Chains A and B, each alone.
Chain A
Amino acid sequence: MRFEHWLYTIPLRLRSLFRRNRIEQELDEELRFHLEQRIEQEIADGKKPEQARYAALRAMQGLDQRKEECRDTRRMSLVDDLWRNLRYGVRGLKRSPGFVATTVITLALGIGANTAIFSLVDTVMLELLPVKAPEQLYFVGHSPQRVSMTWNYPDYRAMRDRNTVFTGLAGYSLGLEPIGIQAGNATELSSGIFVSGNYFNVLGVSAALGRAFNDADDRAPGASPYVVLSYSYWQSHFNGDMQAIGRKLRVNDYPFTVIGVAPRGFAGADVAYKPDLFMPIMMRSEVLHIPFASWNDRHNWWMAAVGRLKPGASIQKAAGELFSICKHQESAERRSLANPQLANTADQVVLEPAARGFSYLAGQLKKPLSILFVIVAVVLLIACANVANLMLARGATRRREIAVRLALGANRRRVISQLLTESMLIAFLGGACGILVSLAGIHVLLRFVPQSGSQLVNGINATLDWRVLAFTVTVCILTGLLFGIVPAWQSTRPDLVRPLKEDVPGSTATRFTLRRGLVVLQVGLSLPLLVGAALFARTLGNLRERDTGFAPKNVFVASVDPTRFGYTGQRTRDFYDRLCARTAALPGVRAASLALLTPLTGSSWNGSVTVEGYTWKRGERNKIWLDAVGPRYFDVIGTPLLLGRDFTDLDNPATAIELPDHIVPGQQLPDQPGRHVAIVNETFARHFFGDRGAVGMHVAMGGPFRNSYEIVGVVKDARYFSVRNAADSMMFIPVWRRFAAQRELVIRASGSMPQLSDLLRRQIHELNPAIPLLNIRTLEHDVNESILVERLVATLSGFFGILALLLSAVGLYGVVAYTVTCRTREIGIRIAVGANRGSVLRLVFQDVIAMVFIGAAIGALVAFVATRAVGSILYGVTPDDLVSMIGAGLLLVGAATGASFIPARRAAKINPIVALRYE
């Protein structure tokens, strides 16, 4: 039955869809035939031809209405109407290019902003790892004060081998290791990470080609010189050759064999980093030239752990079990040490979902991105209000046309769908332009995403993928409905048939209230954005002016690393010392020094210590921050020496220390000759010694060194890890006191960056032409990078706040201009009976003040609630900061006055005679 029905109807539907013209013709012909027959009959009945024709048409009860009824029966409405509506809409829009341009630009800004922010949100927070069942994966972290995801190798290995809650616990090195790949005489820089043997297995990723690592690759240090290539590296460097397996690769001059290729799109569990090579953790010493003892140390935190939770295992139980394993590790270390106080305390273990991968960035950007996402949504809402306002105005000018169509038999539903199609058309045009806007916007946004100062990090790669496009399309549809539905409903109201008979401007009171309501809404939404922008701007300002304890102006930090080119021990030290001496002698250079760490790079070094005359309080962590710096380092970065003396070259051991490649944990290392001295910061001195004076006191360091350090100087506190937080206790030791490895060159110079980097390159080249200058940056750059998130939020919220203000001003202008036009007659009469310019202006501004006041009152309320949610990222201001509130309010009032001034002046200039003749 149903099938037979379709047999007849489907061809008909298709015909009405594709043969529209022909069907129209046939309908016309059919009805004409009928009319002619009727006329003939009437004539036969004795009527005159004219009368007969009239009678025939009357019998039809309106030819066009009947035709429309016939068309209605075809019911291809969905597709058919859409097509017709589209064509009609395009024609309609072509007639008003000004309207289209205004609305499309408005929407493009709104939708573009949303697409840009969403694409970042998408990459940073939504994208799932391309692995098997990602929801079962958890990162293991620990929580001293803040949650840290960093682990040391012995504890990781203990957790991996002894836990009963994971099907597997994988480990990998954090961040990317810069790696030199040797081909012939040339060295090409690429990047790699070190992974445990079970890494691919735990993530549920199998090799696209060859094999991935397995437990055998974890067995012994140096025993598995195998490398798995990333898919893109295989494509770019091996041309996707299937024969790549088994090929040799010299990684930092150590021979490796390619055993596999990772699947396409897989870049590990760390979203921000895309390594070229995966290597077994067991090969760290061979590649990085650091001894096994150094990275297999409970005090060396360099890796992350991710596990696949067994079905049914609870997170609490897992965390509890891992904590007890770490506790066990702690007591084992206590037993092995002469001074048990130096043992590394086990922290509470926490598990965090890993389905979206780990990213330092994601954690850092989550809150700011959420804030920005809300901000751009509000901007889009304001843009929608503007477009709706314009649509209402357009509806007003079109109500004759619409009334005619309604009178001619078009039903209301059809006219509404026609108007909505037009809105959709505008929305999608806006969306298409919005995508262009967002493409530009993404680049601006990415400038704010830390790239770790190195091209080695591919960083976050925000692009327009299908999710972003789906988001944009959804936003387009929603905006189209949002700004389209009310105007469409308004302008097709049945009583609007009236305009056919009369056309009195100002007879549209309800619509007008609606337009004012929209302006109030815009004002109400703009104010919180402006307040927020002001708060974020003040936060950024406060951070910028913060005394960091060092003077970053004119300070440069250069990275050179001879250890990647086979330098070890004394050779490394000589290289750096010579380079430092040559640099200090360069023109324009005031001083140069070396350091393990410079401020605000995101790197840190801490260690357990015993302090003379101090007993640790219960629950206090026996750790302090450390750095190894050369003579004149404090001069270079501009940290004042408060007491005692600076380091000299004589504070370093006579020859560089080299650790043995393999040491048994707990084994005592040979004593380092020479006097051990240290410099501490103010907080250290105050915390451990109070008023007793730090100089001359002793500090013993944990780890393999037994000699205690004598404090010879105290420096001012410097903020090494965050501009926001006050400095913690920190101790500096001479730059070569520990074993010789990579150091940073710090320079105070008056020259420009290109000048200095040129001079520096020449010096390095003279020392060894094979060694490149990896990176040179200003210390100011590092400071700026460290407040990047605040800069991102402050800049963008400021931009969007101004955008919202402009959109609202345009909306207000439109409404005021419209009021003045509508009240021309009234104002004319007022002027005619003696009102002066001032009172006319007052008349107009009364209206504006009412709208702005109501809007601002609502806005202030919204701002009061909304700013509380962002309190945690503010610095130096409170959410109810009066300056920001008043500033935002003044800006709003200024913009409103500006926007209404032009129409108000026009009102005041109305010529009563012209106004009264109007109409």
Chain B
Amino acid sequence: MSKPSDLVQGTLDLLILKILALEPLHGWAVSQRLKQVSGDVLQVSDGSLYPALHKLEQEGWITAEWKTSDLGRRAKFYSLTRLGRRQLAKESANWDRLSNAISHVVRLQES
């Protein structure tokens, strides 16, 4: 099981923002969706997901609403705010820069 520390600092926020950008989801669905789209590579522990969600909410990047889930249960659905979209764009760009740089380094030919 991957622990939050396995994720590069700050990437959990990026992943959550990206997934919520596609559609509003509750916490459980976020964790399932993450696992699913990353082909089981990225797993967020249940323990770190909720503090992260609450932090994003307090930052004003996502907003929460209680709705009935498809299973007929009340659940807290998170969706992206305008601020959140801007933050996502910024963090994606950062990530691109970072991953490109790392790729470059990794691909250096040993002589």
Contacts and interface: CB of A to CB of B under 8 A. Distances in A.
B51 A70 contact: yes
Nearest to A70: B54
Contacts of A29: 74, 76
Given A4-B82, A8-B81, A33 B60 contact: no
A357 to B, nearest CB: 56
26 contacts: A4-B60, A8-B60, A8-B81, A8-B83, A9-B59, A9-B60, A29-B76, A30-B27, A30-B75, A33-B26, A33-B27, A33-B28, A33-B73, A33-B75, A33-B76, A59-B45, A59-B46, A61-B47, A65-B47, A66-B51, A69-B50, A69-B54, A70-B54, A72-B51, A74-B58, A75-B58
Contacts of B92: none
B27 A34 contact: yes
Contact of A12 (B50, B57, B74, B83): B57
A69 B51 contact: yes
Contacts of A56: 46
A74 B11 CA distance: 21
Nearest to A57: B46
- What range describes how many residues of A lie at the interface? 20 to 34
A4 B83 contact: yes
Contacts of B66: 26
Interface string B41-73: 000011110110011011110010010000001
B50 A70 contact: yes
A29 B54 CA distance: 14
Given A7-B60, A30-B27, 18 more contacts: A4-B82, A5-B60, A8-B60, A26-B76, A33-B26, A33-B27, A33-B73, A34-B46, A37-B28, A38-B46, A60-B46, A60-B47, A61-B46, A66-B51, A70-B50, A70-B51, A73-B58, A74-B58
A62 interface: yes
A38 B51 contact: no
Contacts of B59: 9
B45 A61 contact: yes
Interface string A1-42: 000110111001000000000000010011101100110000
Nearest to A13: B58
A12 B55 CA distance: 12
Contacts of A69: 50-51, 54
How would you classify the secondary structure of chain A's contact residues: helix, strand, loop or mixed? helix
A74 B46 contact: no
Contacts of A59: 45-47
A12 B60 CA distance: 9
Interface string A749-764: 0000000000000000
Interface in B70-109: 73-76, 81-83
Interface string A313-336: 000000000000000000000000
Nearest to B1: A59
Contacts of A70: 50-51, 54
A33 B67 CA distance: 13
B50 A66 contact: yes
B50 A34 contact: yes
Nearest to B4: A61
Residue among A9, A56, A59, A66 having the largest count of chain B Cβ atoms under 10 Å = A66
B54 A8 contact: no
A38 B29 CA distance: 11
Contacts of A61: 45-48
A289 B27 CA distance: 97
B28 A12 contact: no
A62 to B, nearest CB: 7
Given A26-B76, A33-B73, A8 B45 contact: no
A37 B74 CA distance: 12
A66 B54 CA distance: 11
A37 B66 CA distance: 17
Contacts of A4: 60, 82-83
A86 B55 CA distance: 26
B46 A30 contact: no
Contacts of A74: 54, 58
A661 B27 CA distance: 104
Contacts of B26: 30, 33
Contacts of B81: 8
A73 B55 contact: yes
Contacts of A66: 47, 50-51
Given A38-B46, A61-B46, A8 B63 contact: yes
